[in-house]
Amino acid sequence: MSTKKDMDWGSLGFTFMQTDYSYVSNWKDGKWDSGVLTSDHTVTLSECAGILHYCQECFEGLKAYTTEEGKIVCFRPDLNAERMYDTAERLCMPPFPKDRFIEAVKQVVKANEAYVPPFGSGATLYIRPVMYATGEVIGVKPADEYQFRILVTPVGPYYKGGAVPIHICVSKYDRAAPRGTGNIKAGLNYAMSLQANVEAHANGFAENLYLDSESRTYVEEAGGANIIFVNKEGTLVVPQSHTDSILPSITRRSLVVVARDLLGMTVDERPVKFSEVENGDFVEAGLCGTAAVISPVGKISYNDEEIDISGMEAAGPVMTKLRNTLTDIQSGKIEGPEGWVVEIA
């Protein structure tokens, strides 16, 4: 039993705090080395490293937390391993083996056990795997050396007093090109979204909603979260992209299983026109991602139009039910599908 750090877990924000160890493995001469834990939290790079010039970089995000019985677990790390594998391939980076990814996550969380927040605090240990080109390039081509690293940092509960509805806006910018990189988790998708993000916040919105950039007709997703809807019949409507430019959120895919198999709901995964939102077809909406699980969407603004979804008073009943069911599975309160909750220590 390790001693926990003396921290006010409940008042942690979503900011970086250095912990004891990170995991690091290097790709050189055509192979990954065996990988080690390191207490060195800085990275020294050549000024000509591929990451600095052509942005060969990708990342993941998942969390470890303590269950009611005091076990440290994480949620579906196999899907993060798989998504990072696919992302790396798309960026001509050597994918990190999936089994080693899961082992590395376990190793680095165990080494930082003292930073895993206790059950009931609402806080979690955020796990951030990241991979970048360290090899030197001047001409445009993939680098020949890479680093894979996992850092962990304790973060506070996303919502301190339960899930509060948010007001989002349709961005005048596009997030991802048709058949581009919208479906992979790469930093480059975020670099170009920062201006849109800053503007949305300055205008009083919590997040941007992006339309498909080919026709600006269909709903795609938010800046860092997928969106799901509930229609008047109680069906869960999940936007699909004609141009494969929605990031495959693990939270969204898990919620689809929860809705269909555990709650017996009808789930409709299909392209969703923004006009359906404007017509008032949806009575609830939510943004889903690892950080908040579901953020209920109360209102969506589009130019001067303000569309009321379920209002700003409280989360709707379906989003509440979905969120509670998934968080109960994650915390071990109810049993979810096999393999979803993976024990670390």
Ligand X SMILES: *Cc1c(COP(=O)(O)O)cnc(C)c1O
Contact call for residue 226 and ligand X (CB under 6 A): yes
Choices 15-23, 92-100, 120-128, 220-228; region in contact with ligand X by CB under 6 A: 220-228
Contact call for residue 135 and ligand X (CB under 6 A): no
H or E stretch covering 154 = strand 146-155
Contact call for residue 219 and ligand X (CB under 6 A): no
Region of 130 please: left (phi>0), alpha (psi -120 to 50) or beta. beta
**How many CB atoms lie under 10 A from the CB of residue 118?**
12
Contact 247, 226 (CB under 8 A): yes
Residue 58 vs 237, nearer CB to ligand X: 58
Contact call for residue 293 and ligand X (CB under 6 A): no
Contact call for residue 250 and ligand X (CB under 6 A): yes
Of 105, 196, 247, 294, the residue at the interface with ligand X (CB under 6 A) is: 247
String of contacts with ligand X for each residue 41-70, x by CB under 6 A: --------------------x---------
What distance in Å separates the CA atoms of residue 240 and residue 270, rounded to the nearest whole number?
5
Choices 32-40, 141-149, 217-225, 325-333; region in contact with ligand X by CB under 6 A: 217-225
String of contacts with ligand X for each residue 159-188, x by CB under 6 A: --------------------------x---
Contact call for residue 245 and ligand X (CB under 6 A): no
Active-site hit among 98, 106, 141, 185: 185
Single out the residue of 238, 242, 265, 243 nearest to residue 253, CA to CA: 238
Burial environment of residue 339 by CB neighbours within 10 A (0 to 12, 13 to 18, 19 or more): exposed
Choices 16-24, 208-216, 219-227, 317-325; region in contact with ligand X by CB under 6 A: 219-227
| DSSP codes of every residue in 275-300 | HHHHTT-EEEEEEEETTTEEEEEEEE
Nearest distance, CB of residue 182 and ligand X, angstroms: 7
Burial environment of residue 293 by CB neighbours within 10 A (0 to 12, 13 to 18, 19 or more): buried
> In the structure encoding, which two tokens stand for residue 9, read together?
């877990």
Choices 84-92, 148-156, 235-243, 285-293; region in contact with ligand X by CB under 6 A: 285-293
The phi and psi torsions of 313 (rounded to 5 degrees) equal -70, -55
Nearest distance, CB of residue 62 and ligand X, angstroms: 7
Residue 135 vs 183, nearer CB to ligand X: 183
Contact call for residue 249 and ligand X (CB under 6 A): yes
Contact call for residue 112 and ligand X (CB under 6 A): no
Write the CA distances from 206 to 24, 186, 279, integer angstroms. Answer: 34, 22, 22
Q: Annotated catalytic, 172?
A: no
Contact call for residue 224 and ligand X (CB under 6 A): yes
121-154 burial by CB neighbour count: b if 16+ within 10 A, else e?
bbbbbbbbbbbbbbbbbeeeeebbbbbbbbbbbb
Residues contacting ligand X: total by CB under 6 A: 14
Strands 226-231 vs 236-239: parallel, antiparallel or unpaired: antiparallel
Burial environment of residue 98 by CB neighbours within 10 A (0 to 12, 13 to 18, 19 or more): middle
Contact call for residue 208 and ligand X (CB under 6 A): no
Residue 156 vs 289, nearer CB to ligand X: 289
Residue whose token pair is 């206790």: 118
Contact call for residue 221 and ligand X (CB under 6 A): yes
Choices 41-49, 194-202, 288-296, 304-312; region in contact with ligand X by CB under 6 A: 288-296
- Side chain identity, residue 191: A
Contact call for residue 332 and ligand X (CB under 6 A): no
Which positions lie near ligand X, rule CB under 6 A? 61, 185, 221, 224-226, 247, 249-252, 288-290
Residues carrying an active site annotation: 185
